[in-house]
A and B are shown apart, each in its own frame.
Chain A
Amino acid sequence: MTLTDHSKAVLDGSHSHGASVGGGEFVPESSRAARLTSFDPEAFGVPTGREEEWRFAALKDLKPLFGAAEGDAVAPWSVSDLPAGVTLEEIDRDAFVAGAAREPGDLLGAVAVAHASGIARLSVAPSTVVDEPITVTVKGSGEDVRHAMSVEVGENAEATVIVDRAGTATVGEFVSVVLGQNASLNLVLLQQWDDDAVHGGEVVASLGKDARLRGSVVTLGGKAVRLNSTVTLAGEGSSVDLFGLYFADQGQHFEHQVFVDHAAPNARSRVTYKGALAGASARTVWIGDVLIRKAAEGTDTYELNRNLVLTEGARADSVPNLEIETGEIEGAGHASATGRFDEEQTFYLRSRGISEEMARRLVVRGFFADLVHEIGVPSVEESLLKAIDIELEHVNELESADD
C-alpha cells in the first residue's frame, strides 16, 4: 500500500550497517573463525576501541574489568533449591578450562576466569528432566567481582536456568554452557541492575548432536552492560534460538554481541534481538555474526535485530554479518532495522482518544510482545511486561522534563 502519503513507515537506516559478507570495511580479519580466543589474558592486548569487537563498546566504563577485582569480594549470588539430578559445586580453574565450551573471545572473558573469586559448576545429570526453573539470584551491593560458571546438561536432560541480576556491582564474568547429545536448555539472563552497575559478560555454548538451546537475554538496567554470546553448533541437527530484549535510558550503554558458529551439518539457528532507546545519551550496540563452516551443509539460519528509537539523540548501532563457506545450505538470512517511533501509529491511537503516553506504551509493548512470549517462563514474562512499563514511565518523565 503505497498509495497514500498519510501513512508511511519511517525507517531510519542511518545507524544501521549492511552486511559485510566476505570482508567489508568492518571485518578486518579474513574470517570470523580467525579471531583470537584464549584463556590467557596476556594473549589479548588492552582494547583501544579500534578493534572490531570493541569499536562500539563503553570502554571507559568497562575498563575496570580488564584487570583483577579490587578487594576480595565473592559473587553475591544464591541458588534456588536444587531438584534431584541437579548439582552445584565449586571447581578449580583447571577443571573449568578443561571442560569449557570454548575459550574466551576477548580480554574481559579471559580476565574473568583468570581472576575469578570462585568458579561454580551446575550440572544436570543425563536423562533428568527438570520442570521448575533453576533460579540463580544475583543481588549486588557494590561488589567488584570476577567470576566464572559452568552449566552442563547431560544427554537427554532438560532444564531451565534463570540468572536474575539486580542491585549494583562491577562484574566481569565468563559462563560456559555445554549441552550433551539431545539435551535441552532454556537459559534466561536478566540484567535488571541499578543504574550504576557495570557488567561485562561472555557466554559460550557448545551443542552436541540434536541438542537444543533457547537463550534469552534481557537487559533493562545498568550503566554499562556488555553481554556477548557465542554458540557453537558442534553436533549435527542441533538447534539454537537466541532472543534479546533491551531498553536503554539516558546514560545507559548496552552492548550485545552474538556469534553463531555453524560447525556441523543440518543445524538451525534463529537470532532475534529487539531494543528500545530513550534519552539523549542512550546507546545500544548489537553485532550479530553468523559463520557457516564448510562442514555445515544443510544449515538453516536467520538473524534479526530491530531497534526503536523513542527520543531524539539516542543511538543504536546494528551490525549483522553473515559468512558462508558452503553453498549447500537450507537457508541463510538476516535483517536489521532501526526506526523512529512511528508518528502515524501514535496518531491513529490518539485519534481514538488514547493519550500520547498510553499510545507510546501500547506501541512499545506491542514491539516487544512477541519477543517476551518467546522466553517461555510465564512468571518472567509477566514481570518483564511490568518492567517495560516502568521503563516507559521514565521516558514520559524525560519528555515532560523537556517541555
Chain B
Amino acid sequence: MSTLEIRNLHASVETPEGTKQILKGVDLTIKSGETHAIMGPNGSGKSTLAYSLAGHPKYEITEGSVLLDGEDVLEMSVDERAKAGLFLAMQYPVEVPGVSVSNFLRTAKTAIDGEAPKLRTWVKDVKASMEQLRMDPAFNERGVNEGFSGGEKKRHEILQMELLSPKIAILDETDSGLDVDALRIVSEGVNRVKENTGLGVMLITHYTRILNYITPDFVHVFVDGKIAEEGGPELAERLEAEGYDRFLASA
C-alpha cells in the first residue's frame, strides 16, 4: 500500500520574459489502486505537474511538499524518484538514437531493481507484455522511440510501466493523438497493470474519451495551476457536456 501526497505544490519555469509561476498550490493524495483523472484546459499546468513530480530540471519547486510513503520526493534526483516507485508516461517520449529498446528496458529494469533480471523470465515477461500491447518483436532491436509513430511511442511507455512495476504512475496525456484502436490497447494495458500490481494512477487528460476505457475513482479539474473542483466520475460527464468554460470564466 503506497501513498503519494502532494501538498501546496508551487512550481515556476524560467522564460525569456522572466520567471513564470505555473503551479499555484496543488493538493492531491493518490493511494495504491486508485485512479485520479486530472482534467483541464490547455495551458492550465497539468503537464508541469507531471514533469515537476518526475524532477525535470526545467521546473523549480518554490513551495510545498511531495511525499511518497513518507519519503521526501523533492529531495530525490530524477533516477532516485523512479527507483522509489514513481513512473511518468510522457506525452512526447524522447528519441534516443542508437540505443536499442531491449538494451534500454534491461538497463532500466536492472537500475530499478538493483540487480539484473533473470534472463529467462525477463525475456518471457517482455515478450508477453509486447504481445498484449500488440507490439511487433522487431521493436526490441529498434532505437528507443526512434522513428516510432505516436501510437507506438505511447504503447512503448505502457510497456515500460508494466515491466518496471512502479507504485504510482503519472500518465501525461497518454491518450492524445491515439486512434480508437490504439486507445483501447493502451487503456487495457493500464487496467491490466492496475489489476496485477495495485498501481496508483494519475491520469492527466484533456479529453474525456479515455475515461470510457479507464474508470477513474476521482476526477479533479485543473485550472490555472491548481485543482479547482473535485468529484467522482460524474464530474467527467459534466465536463463532457459543458466543457471547461465555467472554470475559465471565473479564472
Contacts and interface: CB of A to CB of B under 8 A. Distances in A.
A6 B172 CA distance: 12
Contacts of B123: none
Given A347-B56, A353-B82, A362 B96 contact: yes
B57 A347 contact: yes
Contacts of B112: 352-353
Interface stretch (B1-9, B65-73, B97-105): B97-105
Contact of A370 (B57, B95, B98): B98
A6 B98 contact: no
A349 interface: yes
Interface string A337-375: 000001111011111111110100011011111100000
A4 interface: yes
B92 A3 contact: yes
A369 B98 CA distance: 6
Contacts of A7: 90, 92, 94
Interface residues of B, number: 35
B233 interface: no
A363 B100 CA distance: 11
Contact of B51 (A6, A343, A352, A365): A6
A245 B5 CA distance: 49
B125 to A, nearest CB: 16
B26 interface: no
**Chain B contact residues, majority secondary structure:** mixed
B107 A368 contact: no
A342 B107 CA distance: 19
Contacts of B58: 6
B96 A356 contact: no
Interface string A1-43: 1011011000000000000000000000000000000000000
B107 A4 contact: no
The residue in B78, B83, B87, B111 that gathers the most chain A C-beta atoms within 10 A of its C-beta is: B78
B132 to A, nearest CB: 20
Contacts of B164: 352-353
A397 to B, nearest CB: 19
A353 B94 CA distance: 15
Given A6-B47, A353-B83, A366 B97 contact: yes
Given A354-B79, A355-B111, A349 B96 contact: yes
B91 A4 contact: yes
Contacts of B57: 343, 347
B99 A366 contact: yes
A366 B98 contact: yes
Contact of A363 (B77, B96, B111): B96
B160 interface: yes
B54 interface: yes
Contacts of A345: 94-96
A350 B90 contact: no
Interface of B: 47, 51, 54-58, 77-79, 81-83, 87-88, 90-99, 103-104, 107-108, 111-112, 143-144, 160, 164
Which 7 A-B residue pairings sit nearest by Cβ, starting from the closest? A366-B98, A353-B82, A352-B108, A369-B98, A353-B111, A350-B78, A348-B94
11 contacts: A3-B92, A4-B91, A4-B92, A344-B94, A351-B54, A351-B78, A351-B88, A353-B79, A353-B108, A363-B99, A369-B99
